[in-house]
């Protein structure tokens, strides 16, 4: 039985709800459902602008650190102010899902980032978020919403931090005390109030700079600042065209993404846990590919191997480029 409580006027639109519900009860129900869905962490923050984030993001863009990711600059205003993306927004439900799986033994010469060995996380996480939205509609059928997983003009890490899930570390990843940083993040944004987790977590990186020292291309130009133009993940996934030899010489076998700054993080070394989600278990055919690749890489083989997997977005041409760059570096480095 749903207990009712009147919705207050929206501070920006003045809009009132079309029926009544209990925000505290709905919040409890959402978190219980997230737990049943296997979501590791969930927190809720009010949808308000973060001036500090906006200033830092603008500075980051001005320094050109986004490289060729022009969509980040194109929708800068929305990333800096959620209400420009979704004016009715009142609550942001942030969720985190553990994807970590231990390295294979023996480790392959060519490496694909841990997150890209199983099913595409966009689909997995969206399924859970839409189930949570379904629950909200049981309480409030007229709800307006957005479900965001990585592709919307929304900063996943910002909202996860604001919801108390963790802190943004010096490697620019969200780090949690319970699981480290091997997490997929997503949001359910709705136009009704909930009970908020407004206590942001402290930064527990301390004096550690393991990630900065370990990055082979020096992409972490200072604590908490990443120059994507030097980042192996950016270069192997987003970058189009040739890769500068002085950067590809340090690829260390990575052909899609890179986990180095996470692998050396003390919070991961101590607290990482193997994911029990079946969708994120490594596909054997992908593991086999890293040990017995074929060049030239045929499009039909690429599509078969990476169907329903994050790697598909890079395409066979760029994947072949990455493989050749990594092999050349491994050969030259002995």
**Contact status, residue 157 vs residue 53, Cβ threshold 8 Å:** no
Helix (H, G, I), strand (E, B) or coil at 328: helix
What are the φ/ψ torsions at residue 175 (nearest 5 degrees)? Answer: -115, 135
Distances (CA, A) of 24 to 45, 81, 155, 195: 13, 26, 26, 5
Q: Which residues are CB-neighbours of 256 under 8 A, at least 6 positions away?
A: 112, 113, 116, 236, 237, 311, 314, 319, 322
The active-site residue out of 150, 227, 252, 288 is 150
Query: In terms of Cα–Cα distance, which of 168, 153, 229 is closest to 200?
Result: 168
93, 195 contact by CB (below 8 A): no
Q: Which of 228, 256, 233, 259 is nearest to 321 (CA)?
A: 256
8 Å CB contact between 66 and 72: yes
The gap between the terminal CA atoms of the chain, to the nearest Å, is 68
User: How many of the other CB atoms lie within 10 Å of CB of 158?
Assistant: 24
Per the CB < 8 A criterion, the answer to whether 300 and 109 are in contact is no
Q: Where are the beta strands (DSSP E) in 170-228?
A: 174-175, 183-190, 220-222, 225-226
Nearest one of 82, 107, 77, 108 to 93, comparing CA atoms: 82
Closest to 273 (Cα-Cα) out of 94, 42, 97:
97
20 is catalytic: no
Residues catalogued as catalytic: 150
């Amino acid at each position: 039985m749903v207990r009712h409580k009147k919705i207050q006027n929206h501070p920006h639109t003045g809009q009132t709800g079309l029926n009544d519900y209990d925000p505290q009860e709905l919040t409890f129900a959402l978190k219980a459902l997230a737990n049943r869905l296997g979501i590791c962490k969930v927190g809720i923050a009010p949808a308000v602008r973060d001036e500090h984030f906006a200033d830092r993001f603008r500075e980051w863009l001005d320094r050109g650190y986004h490289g060729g990711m022009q969509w980040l600059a194109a929708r800068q205003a929305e990333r800096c102010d959620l209400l420009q993306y979704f004016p009715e927004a009142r609550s942001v439900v942030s969720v985190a899902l553990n994807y970590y799986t231990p390295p294979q033994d023996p480790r392959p010469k060519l490496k694909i980032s841990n997150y890209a060995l199983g099913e595409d996380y966009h689909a997995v996480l969206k399924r859970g978020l839409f189930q949570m939205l379904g629950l909200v509609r049981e309480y409030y059928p007229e709800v307006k919403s957005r479900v965001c997983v990585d592709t919307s003009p929304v900063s996943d890490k910002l909202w996860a931090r604001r919801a108390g899930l963790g802190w943004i570390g010096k490697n620019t990843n969200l780090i949690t005390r319970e699981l480290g940083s091997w997490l997929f993040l997503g949001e359910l944004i709705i136009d009704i109030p909930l009970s908020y987790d407004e206590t942001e977590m402290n930064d527990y990186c301390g004096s550690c700079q393991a990630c900065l020292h370990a990055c082979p291309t020096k992409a972490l130009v200072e604590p908490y600042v990443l120059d994507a133009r030097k980042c192996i993940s950016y270069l192997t996934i987003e970058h189009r065209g040739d890769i500068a030899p002085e950067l590809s010489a340090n690829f260390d076998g990575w052909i899609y993404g890179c986990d180095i700054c996470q692998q050396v993080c003390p919070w991961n070394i101590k607290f990482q846990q193997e994911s029990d989600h079946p969708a994120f278990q490594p596909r054997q055919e992908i593991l086999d590919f890293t040990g017995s690749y074929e060049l030239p890489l045929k499009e039909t083989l690429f599509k078969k191997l990476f169907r329903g997997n994050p790697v598909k977005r890079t395409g066979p041409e760029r994947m072949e480029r990455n493989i050749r760059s990594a092999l050349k570096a491994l050969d030259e480095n002995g």
